[in-house]
Chain A
Amino acid sequence: QLQLQESGSRLVKPSQTLSLTCVVSGGSISSGDYAWSWSRQPPGRGLEYIGYIYHGGTTYHNPSLRSRVTISMDRSRNQFSLKMTSVTAADTAVYYCAREKVGDDGGYFDNWGRGTLVTVSS
Chain B
Amino acid sequence: DIHMTQSPSSLSASVGDRVTITCRASEGLNGWLAWYQQKPGKAPKLLIYRVSSLQSGVPSRFSGSGSGTDFTLTISSLQPDDFATYYCQQYKAYRTFGQGTKVEIK
Listed in ascending order, the chain A residues whose CB lies under 8 Å from chain B are 37, 46-49, 60, 62-63, 96, 98, 101, 105-110, 112-115
Kindly list the 10 A-B residue pairs having the minimum CB-CB distance in the complex, ordered from nearest.
A107-B91, A112-B43, A108-B34, A49-B95, A47-B97, A108-B49, A46-B99, A46-B100, A110-B46, A115-B43
B89 at the interface (CB under 8 A from A): yes
B44 at the interface (CB under 8 A from A): yes
- Contact partners of B43 in chain A: CB under 8 A: 96, 98, 112-115
- Contact partners of A112 in chain B: CB under 8 A: 43-45
Chain B proximity of A53: nearest CB distance (Å): 14
Residue pairs across A and B with CB atoms within 8 Å: the count is: 52
Q: How far is the CA of A105 from the CA of B29 in the complex (A)?
A: 12
Q: How far is the CA of A101 from the CA of B43 in the complex (A)?
A: 17
B14 at the interface (CB under 8 A from A): no
| Chain A, Cβ-Cβ closest to B53 | A105
A49 and B46 contact, CB distance less than 8 A: no
B106 at the interface (CB under 8 A from A): no
Q: A47-B97, A109-B89 are in contact. List 15 more A-B contacts (CB 8 A).
A: A46-B98, A47-B89, A49-B94, A49-B95, A49-B97, A63-B1, A96-B44, A106-B91, A107-B32, A107-B91, A107-B95, A108-B34, A109-B34, A109-B46, A114-B43
Q: How far is the CA of A108 from the CA of B55 in the complex (A)?
A: 11
Q: How far is the CA of A60 from the CA of B91 in the complex (A)?
A: 13
A-contacting residues, B8-67, CB 8 Å:
32, 34, 36, 42-46, 49-50, 55
- Contact partners of A105 in chain B: CB under 8 A: 49-50
**CB-contact partner of A60 in B44, B94, B98, under 8 A:** B94
B96 and A49 contact, CB distance less than 8 A: yes
| Chain A, Cβ-Cβ closest to B46 | A110
Q: Per-position contact with A for B83-94: 1 when CB-CB < 8 Å, else 0?
A: 000010101101
B94 and A110 contact, CB distance less than 8 A: no
- Could you give 12 example pairs across A and B, Cβ below 8 Å? A46-B97, A46-B98, A49-B97, A63-B1, A101-B49, A107-B32, A107-B34, A107-B91, A108-B46, A108-B49, A110-B55, A115-B43
| Chain A, Cβ-Cβ closest to B32 | A107
